[in-house]
Structure 1
Amino acid sequence: MKKSDLRIKYTKQRETLSQDEVLFLSEKIFLNFLEKFKVEESQKVHCFLSMLDKKEIDTRFFIDYFFKNRIRVFVPKISKGKMISVEITPETAFIKSFYGILEPESNLDSGETEYDFVITPLLYCDENGNRVGYGKGFYDQFFENIDANCSKVGVGLFQPREKIDDVWEKDIPLNYLVTPVEVLSF
């Protein structure tokens, strides 16, 4: 199936979920992540901030856990048409972006490229680790500029069922997909 068709299909499926269902499934995804990966003090994790109105996985479970366990947290911010990585703490101030996403007030790019994990948003991921996002290509550009050994971990509500037919040469696949049911490795 084409990315555009998958984007429509899985956006509609996600819209049928209640906020309580998304919260429940988000917690299951978080617990599956913890069961699979050993995240330790001082490691560096890049994690997106959820758009809860779009029923994305609620990453507050992840971020709260990382803060409690002294894991360094970096989040994306769009600055001058490019995704940068800003380190945050529990005291960080946030604002809503043009895209309606919470972002840190700071525009200070951390310059970090060596993450232990990048927790990646998606609408859909196929059985080869190819993802369908919102079509802007921010994460593929980001992946090009970080250490290749970083674990790129997608978090998604749905199991891979359809193959993505129009994977582009600049698309960078994920290493893992964490769903409410299981963790897949690619």
Structure 2
Amino acid sequence: MKKSEIRKLYLQKRKDLSSDEIFSLSEKIFKNFIDYFKPVSGQKVHIFIPIDKFNEIQTQTFIDYFLSRNIQVFVPKIVDTKLISVEIFTDSKFEVNNWGIFEPISNEDSGILDFDFVITPLLYCDSKGNRVGYGKGFYDHFFENISKQTKKIGVNYFNPEIIIEDVWENDIPLDYLVTPTDVLSFLGRE
């Protein structure tokens, strides 16, 4: 199936989820992430802030967990069409941008490239780690510059069922996918 078709299908699947389902599934994803990756003090995590209108996985539980355990937290912000990584703290100030997305007021790029984990938003991920996002390519460009040791982890409500037919040369696959029922590794892919 083509990315455009998958994007439409999974936007609708997400739209059909109730707020209770979003909360419950997000909590299961969080638990699976913590049980599998066991993040510890001193690590660095880049994690997205969800776009509520797209029913994205709720990540505040992740952020609160990391901050309470002295794990450095970085969130994306788009500045001049580039995704930068802004470090946040318990007292960081946020604003709603033109697209209705919460983001830190700060425009200071941390310059960090050696994250332990990058928890990545997506609409769909296939069984090879190929990702369908919103089609802007922000994360592919971001992935090009981070450390090769960084674990690129997608989070999704749904397990892989369809193969993405139009994977492009510049698409960078994920290393793992965390769903409410599984943690899948793509590190053995061909």
TM over 0.5: yes
Please give the residue correspondences for 1:83-162 in structure 2 after superposition, counting only pairs within 5 Å. Answer: 83-162=83-162
Matched, 1:17 2:17: yes
Match of 1:61 in 2: 61
Task: Tell me the equivalent position of 2:170.
Answer: 170
161-170 or 93-102: bigger deviation: 93-102
> 2:25 is paired with a residue of what secondary structure?
helix
Please state how far the C-alpha of 1:98 moved relative to its aligned partner.
Answer: 2.0
Mapped partners of 1:24, 1:52: distance in 2: 15
State the Cα deviation string for residues 83-139 of structure 1 (Å, max 9, x = none): 000000010000111222111000000000000000000000000000000000000
Farther off after superposition, 159-168 or 92-101:
92-101
Alignment partners' CA distance in 1, 2:99 and 2:56: 14
* Identical residues among aligned pairs (%): 58
1:42 alignment counterpart: 42
- 1:184 aligned residue: 184
Q: Distance in 2 between matches of 1:101 and 1:112?
A: 22
State the distance in 2 between where 1:35 and 1:181 align. 12
Report deviation, 1:42: 1.0
| 3-state secondary structure, aligned to 1:139 | helix
Q: Distance in 2 between matches of 1:32 and 1:101?
A: 26
Alpha-carbon distance between aligned partners in 2 of 1:85 and 1:147, rounded to the nearest angstrom? 14
- Structure 1's unaligned 5+ residue stretches are none
Q: Deviations over 1:41-77 (max 9, x none)?
A: 0100000001122110000110010011110000000
> For 2:26, what is the secondary structure of its paired residue?
helix
Aligned letter for 1:131?
R
Alpha-carbon distance between aligned partners in 2 of 1:87 and 1:147, rounded to the nearest angstrom: 17
CA drift of 1:4 comes to 0.3
1:133-156 CA-to-partner distances (Å, cap 9, x unmatched) read 000000000000100110000000
* CA positional deviation for 1:178: 0.1
Q: What is aligned with 2:70? A: 70
Q: Which residue type is aligned with residue 71 of structure 2?
A: I
Shift of 1:36: 0.5
Q: TM-score, normalised by structure 1?
A: 0.99
Cα distance in 1, alignment partners of residues 174 and 100 from structure 2: 25
Aligned length in residues? 186
The answer for unaligned runs of 5 or more in structure 2 is: none
